Amino acid sequence: MPRSHEVAVAGDAPYTIHIGPGLLDDGALLARRVRGGDAMLVSDAHVAPLYADRVATALRAARPELRLHRHVLPPGEAAKTLAHFTDVTTALADARMRRDATLFALGGGVIGDLAGFAAACWMRGIDCVQLPTTLLAMVDSSVGGKTAVDLPQGKNLVGAFHPPRAVIADTAALRTLPARELRAGLAEVVKYGALGDAGFIDWLDANAAALLAMDDAALAEAIARSCAHKAAIVARDPFEHGERALLNFGHTFGHAIETEQGYGGLNHGEAVAVGMVLAAQLSEVLGLAPAADTARLRALLQRLELPVALPPGLDPDRLLAHMRLDKKAQADGLRFIVWDGIGRARVLAGVSETAVLDVLRR
């Protein structure tokens, strides 16, 4: 595995995912997509003190004339709101950002989604460069152009498709990531195997300990394989008219959990881990897949120290009510990503609420 490598995302607005240690210090790379004279660095209060000065120094070295502004948000899912979206757009206005300005989203998926949405909306769209600093953001949220904020009624309900101009993932930034957040990212890594690559599940089984120990080679391979999966899917289906929905394996359950907990309980990756087990159980209840595959997925997630069951006290009827507002739900009722077994996910429309409640009540 080279020290640093690239994954191309094809499509109408192609871009490159750069992956490697030390990339946040690479001013030439950071500045490559900056068209105008203005840029805004948006980050959160955990990440900005760690990395914002380094990014600013590198950018200024490469582009001394660049007017670089900063906006720092509170950390965590609870900040992914319309109110903080307004804060960012107000900061863009105060800084008099023009259409050729570039927004750098430095942080995890919360910053990437919120700042990306601000970039999508400001003057109907300015360039956004994603600088993911969590494993979850490196393997998933920074890639593919989905941007959004949450509402109290549901996750990611207000958003837009706005592909980044580049994704620059400095794997050395994972050194400061809390262990819980590393594990959350591993849930999304497992997702790629679960939905379409049984061989990747074998590899994850064999490398679980190395990944938890933050072994550089294992992490680099997990990130590269995940990005390759996501890049291929979003290139074929950028606006989720079909295959891209598979990337939501476990998410209908997971989003309902996050919403019901008021975005302050399980984090996104943990909720997805539970949601994938529930999706596998739903597939079992519907007679689509063997229980042995659910057991294997559960065991892998447990080895990765992720939760695999609903947190106590959540009301199944309230979770079901959240699912009715899920973006995949349509006139034909609930749609779920189910599987026929490990590596064979598919969309299933018209899923009976009784079957869903059966799984939630187990």
Q: Does 170 bind ligand NAD (CB under 6 A)?
A: no
307 binds, among ligand NAD, ligand GLY, none (CB under 5 to 8 A by kind): none
Which CB sits closer to ligand NAD, 176 or 352? Answer: 176
Q: Which residue has the tokens 């063997």?
A: 290
248 binds, among ligand NAD, ligand GLY, none (CB under 5 to 8 A by kind): ligand GLY
Q: Does 9 bind ligand NAD (CB under 6 A)?
A: no
> Rounded CA gap, 121 and 100, in Å?
13
Strand, helix or coil for residue 247: helix
In the set 46, 80, 146, 155, which binds ligand GLY (CB under 6 A)? 146
Q: Does 141 bind ligand NAD (CB under 6 A)?
A: yes
> Rounded CA gap, 234 and 203, in Å?
23
Residues 160, 121: contact at Cβ < 8 Å? Answer: yes
- Residue 232: CB minimum distance to ligand GLY, A: 12
Nearest to 101 by CA among 15, 37, 43: 37
> Rounded CA gap, 229 and 88, in Å?
31
> Rounded CA gap, 289 and 280, in Å?
8
Q: What is the DSSP string of 295-355?
A: HHHHHHHHHTT---SPPTT--HHHHHHHHHTSTT-BTTBEEEEEESSTT-EEEEEEE-HHH
> Rounded CA gap, 94 and 265, in Å?
35
x-marked contacts with ligand NAD along 268-287 as a string, rule CB under 6 A:
xx------------------
32 binds, among ligand NAD, ligand GLY, none (CB under 5 to 8 A by kind): none
81 binds, among ligand NAD, ligand GLY, none (CB under 5 to 8 A by kind): none
- Residue 140: CB minimum distance to ligand GLY, A: 5
x-marked contacts with ligand NAD along 178-207 as a string, rule CB under 6 A:
---x--x-----------------------
Q: What is residue 77's DSSP assignment?
A: G
Written as six digits, the tokens of 17 are 């995912």
> Rounded CA gap, 344 and 331, in Å?
25
Let me know if 240 is a catalytic residue: yes
> Rounded CA gap, 126 and 178, in Å?
32
Let me know if 255 is a catalytic residue: yes
Q: Does 75 bind ligand NAD (CB under 6 A)?
A: yes
Query: By CB under 6 A, what part of segment 219-258 binds ligand GLY?
Result: 244, 247-248
> Rounded CA gap, 114 and 183, in Å?
22
Residues 114, 150: contact at Cβ < 8 Å? Answer: no
- Residue 275: CB minimum distance to ligand GLY, A: 12
Query: By CB under 6 A, what part of segment 49-108 binds ligand GLY?
Result: none
Q: Does 140 bind ligand GLY (CB under 6 A)?
A: yes
Nearest to 137 by CA among 115, 163, 113: 113
Which CB sits closer to ligand NAD, 133 or 294? Answer: 133
Which CB sits closer to ligand GLY, 137 or 360? Answer: 137
Strand, helix or coil for residue 106: strand
- Residue 237: CB minimum distance to ligand GLY, A: 9
Binding stretches for ligand NAD (CB under 6 A): 44, 46-47, 50, 75-77, 80, 107-111, 113, 133-134, 136-137, 140-141, 144, 146, 155-156, 173, 176-177, 181, 184, 267-269
Binding stretches for ligand GLY (CB under 6 A): 140, 144, 146, 244, 247-248
**Active-site residues: which are they?**
124, 146, 188, 230, 240, 244, 248, 251, 255, 268
